[in-house]
Amino acid sequence: MKKYKIETIVGIFVVIGLISIGYMTVRLGNVSFFGDNTYKLTARFNSVTGLRIGHQVDIFGIQVGRISRIEMDQESQRAVVEMRIKRGIKIYDDAIASIKTEGLLGDSYLSIDPGGAGDLLEDGGVITETQSPVDIIELISKYAFGDVKK
C-alpha cells in the first residue's frame, strides 16, 4: 500500500511538471490557440540592420507587437518588415516607424510614432514614413578619423 502511495505522489508531480512545461512553452513562444488578437502592418526600410523576427514593436516605450517577417522587395530594393500589432492599438497613416537600439550595444527594436492626423491603418496597412537605424560604428569611425564636419 505504501508503494502505491509513493508512486501516486510521483505521478502527480510528473503531471504537474508536464503541464507547467507546456504552459511555459505556449506562453514564451507567443502561441495563440483561441484566435489571433493582432493585425498586420508593413513598413519599408533602406536598411534593417540588427532587426530580427520576434523583436518587439514599441509605441511610447510600451510593447504593442512583434516583428513577424522580414524580406527584401526586389523591385524597389528595400527591406519589407511585417509586424503584428495588438488589436485596439490605433496607428494612423501618418505614423513614422524607426529602428532603434536599446542602449549602446543592445537589441534593435521597431519604434512607432502613431501619428494622429490621417486615417486609421487597417489590417494589411502600410506605414510609409520610415527611418533606418543609425550606424554607430560608422559614426565612431568618422569621429576617430576626423571625418566629422563641425
The answer to whether 132 and 51 have CB atoms below 8 angstroms apart is no
The one-letter amino acid at 75:
E
Three-state DSSP state, 53: coil
Domain ranges of the chain: 1-31, 38-133
In 10-138 the beta strands, taken as DSSP E runs, fall at 38-45, 56-59, 62-73, 78-86, 96-101, 108-113, 125-127, 129-131
pLDDT of residue 58: 92
Indicate whether this model's pTM tops 0.75. Answer: no
pLDDT of residue 32: 60
pLDDT of residue 29: 67
pLDDT of residue 104: 67
pLDDT of residue 71: 92
pLDDT of residue 147: 63
Residues of the chain with confidence (pLDDT) below 50 = none
